[in-house]
C-alpha cells in the first residue's frame, strides 16, 4: 500500500509556530505582565510567571488542536496535526502532551533535528505520540 500523505514542510511549520506565538502567546504575556502582575519588573522577577505563560499557551494551543486539528497559525499555512495512523484529529490530552514533548525537543535540539532527516518530517514529539503534521486539503 502506497502512502499518499502530504506532509507539511519544515518552513511552513516554523512560520505557523511564529504566527501562533504572536496571536496566542504575546497576548498571554501582556495579560500576565500588566493585568495580573504590576509590570515587566515583576514578570522578570517572578520564577513562576514565564512557566504559567507557557502552560497557558500550551493549553490554548491544545484546545485548538483537539477541536479542529489546527491552531490559527497552522490554519494560515493550511496544515493540520493528525493521528499518524487514522489521519483523524487528536485528543486534548494527546495534544497537550505533544506540546510538552515539543518543549523538550526544542530544548535539546536533537528531537527537532531528526525531522530534517525523515521523509515524513516527524520530530521526536510526533514520533512519541504517533502524530503527523500534514497539508490540509
- Which tens digits make up the pLDDT trace of 70-124? 999 999 999 999 999 999 999 999 999 999 999 999 999 999 999 999 999 999 9
- In 38-124, where do the E strands start and end? 79-83
Residue 22 half-sphere exposure, CB side, CA atoms within 13 Å?
A: 9
Matching residue, cell 500500500: 1
Neighbouring CB atoms inside 10 A of 91's CB total: 12
Q: What are phi and psi of 57, to 5 degrees?
A: -60, -45
How much is the pLDDT for 44? Answer: 93
Return d(Cα 131, Cα 5) in angstroms, integer.
13
Domain-by-domain residue ranges, the chain?
A: 10-135
| Residue 51: pLDDT band with limits 50, 70, 90 | very high
> What does pTM read for this prediction?
0.92
Amino acid at each position: 500500500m502506497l502512502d499518499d500523505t502530504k506532509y507539511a514542510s519544515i518552513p511552513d511549520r516554523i512560520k505557523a509556530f511564529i504566527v501562533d506565538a504572536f496571536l496566542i502567546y504575546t497576548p498571554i504575556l501582556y495579560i500576565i505582565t500588566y493585568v495580573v502582575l504590576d509590570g515587566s519588573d515583576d514578570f522578570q522577577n517572578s520564577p513562576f510567571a514565564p512557566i504559567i505563560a507557557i502552560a497557558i499557551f500550551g493549553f490554548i494551543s491544545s484546545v485548538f488542536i483537539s477541536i479542529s486539528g489546527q491552531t490559527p497559525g497552522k490554519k494560515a499555512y493550511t496544515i493540520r496535526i493528525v493521528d499518524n495512523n487514522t489521519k483523524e484529529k487528536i485528543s486534548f490530552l494527546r495534544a497537550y502532551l505533544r506540546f510538552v514533548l515539543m518543549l523538550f525537543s526544542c530544548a535539546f535540539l536533537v528531537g527537532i533535528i531528526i525531522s530534517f532527516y525523515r521523509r515524513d518530517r516527524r520530530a521526536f514529539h510526533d514520533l512519541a505520540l504517533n502524530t503527523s503534521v500534514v497539508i490540509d486539503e
